[in-house]
Structure 1
Amino acid sequence: MKLKNKYQKFSKISEQKFREIIRCFALDLTASDTAKMTGISVRSINPIFLKIRHRIAALCEQSSPLSGVVELDESYFGARRIRGKRGRGASGKTIVFGILKRNGVVYTEIVPDASKASLIKVIRGHISADSEINTDGWKAYDGLVDMGYEKHYRVHHGSNEFARGKQHINGIESFWSYAKGRLAKFHGISKEMFYLHLKETEFRFNHRHEDLGKILMKMLRNNPI
């Protein structure tokens, strides 16, 4: 029997029960915990969570170019990386490039490697030329000034330099810590699902000071899954 539900098309779940599911998702509960809380089977919860994650990812990809003071960094997800290895040495890792607007939002993108060509492609598409860019000393960031990003500041972690006044990348590094801590609770994520979980983490970080449940309900009212 199909029930009236403004959040889900052709739903067999009541609108009230569906709101409970959304609230559980907003609280970052797993599908198993949500099933226990709502009395709805995990088999029914999983496809709902998957559709919500697809919507969130699509919303994140619509983000406008970042401007102002931004921090750039790459991070490596998956099996433990060999200390000191970066770029080609990150075999078996999923490499994520992040751009954080200081005291604001973050944008993440999976990249094939940490080479200059890969990172510059993302930078050009997501950072305004008048931005103040902060990076570490990784060689892929060489030449940003020549490309029109005139305000480029670096801290050299290899020389134990982690901040020089307001020049640092502490914000994006804090995001990496949050992301890895959050994703660890899933005890392993397939490569096929990693993108969706990454974008969900980005979305949660960007709305960390807001009521995520209300945001999700509004999103699904406007465009039911």
Structure 2
Amino acid sequence: MIGKDFKSIFELLEMFPDEQSCIDYLEEKRWGGDVVSPFDDSSRVYKCKNNRYRCKNTRKYFNVRTNTLFDNTKVGLRKWFLAIYLVTSHKKGISSCQLAKDLRVTQKTAWFILQRIRTCFEIEEDIALDGVVEIDETFVGGKNKNRHWNKKVPKSQGRSFKDKTPVFGMLQRNGIVIAKVVPDTSVKSLLPHILKHIREGSTIYTDEWNYGNLSEKYNHDYIHHGARIYAQGEVYTNTIEGFWSIFKRGIMGIYHITSRKHLQKYVNEFVFRYNTRKISEKGRFDLLLQNTERRLKYKDLTTN
């Protein structure tokens, strides 16, 4: 069963007909046949009844859900697996209202499930880009002209931070993308991300925005969008702008509105799908299951 592929919801439900099949699959993906205690990874582990285990050193009981996004939830693993499949396979995501209908749970539960899953989308901080890298930023928050007359924000056109949140992106051509919510688009805010995530000596293409003196450590060239020039040979930022297009369509068409507090989680969701675009839906599903040791509590999610 472990090696069987699935390409549709029907095949997914066939592969996981009951809760036990989900537990067996999750144990294989998390431990690979060698159970490790979440309380002491050096401890010996004893198998008990009802899919439980006991840590010898701490004398605590645990199961495959312990200290993962599935921990302390009454929602069955079949529903969790279906939610993970829907989120990772739908190109623009799925709303909590729609997921609540699909899983037959409340909208509040569906939203919490989605936010827990999004926590597992976060990429490792030590990832570095090289070769040809395009960098750009976008703003999330909607256009002032589309707001109702009594909800318009004065002087918020263009690159305004009053009603919009900036997101900075770095995309390696034919590779992956890294995107971060930033407080503003100043050199002070953007340059540290560039130095951290792009290897020295790489080629960086940007628009005419000021990112600091990139030529000191990189081969830097830019395209002048203000003059309506969008490509000069290999110099363009069309690839990362294509990523922004997918991201914006998902936000406007599926989620409609996102708060500054939770925006990075939504960014991580689109980054994950983009970076796994060349692997199968099962491969994407398995990759997330291998990164589930991130428990998000509801009180931490809702506390300001």
TM-score class, shorter-chain normalisation, is 0.7 to 0.9
Deviation track 1:72-109 (CA, whole Å, cap 9, x = no partner) reads 111111132779844xx543321111101012211111
Deviation track 1:31-71 (CA, whole Å, cap 9, x = no partner) reads 222232233333332222111111112xx243511000000
1:22 aligns with 2:81: no
Q: CA 1:156 to 1:38, structure 2 compared with 1: closer, same or farther past 3 Å?
A: same
Larger Rg: 2
Residue correspondences, number: 216
Q: Give the letter aligned to residue 224 of structure 2.
A: H
Compute the TM-score of the two structures, normalised by the length of structure 1. Answer: 0.84
- SS of the aligned residue for 1:96 comes to strand
The whole-number CA distance in structure 2 between the counterparts of 1:11 and 1:221 is 19
Structure 1 residues without counterparts, runs of 5 or longer:
none
Given candidates 222, 246, 267, the residue that maps to 1:154 is 222
Q: Equivalent residues in 2 for 1:115-134 (5 A)?
A: 115-134=186-205
- SS of the aligned residue for 2:174 comes to coil
Structure possessing the higher relative contact order (Cα contacts under 8 Å, 6 or more residues apart): 1
1:189 aligns with 2:258: yes
- SS of the aligned residue for 1:168 comes to coil
Q: Equivalent residues in 2 for 1:78-157 (5 A)?
A: 78-80=141-143, 85-86=158-159, 89-138=160-209, 140-145=210-215, 147-149=216-218, 151-157=219-225
Does structure 2 retain, via aligned residues, the 8 Å contact 1:22–1:217?
no
Percent identical: 31
Given candidates 279, 293, 303, the residue that maps to 1:210 is 279
1:73 aligns with 2:136: yes
Does structure 2 retain, via aligned residues, the 8 Å contact 1:72–1:100?
yes
Q: Give the letter aligned to residue 84 of structure 2.
A: I
Which residue number in structure 2 is paired with residue 48 of structure 1?
Answer: 113
Q: CA 1:48 to 1:158, structure 2 compared with 1: closer, same or farther past 3 Å?
A: same
The whole-number CA distance in structure 1 between the counterparts of 2:171 and 2:255 is 25
1:39 aligns with 2:108: no
Q: CA deviation at 1:216?
A: 3.4
Structure 2 residues without counterparts, runs of 5 or longer:
1-18, 27-64, 145-154, 296-304
Richer in helix (by share): 1
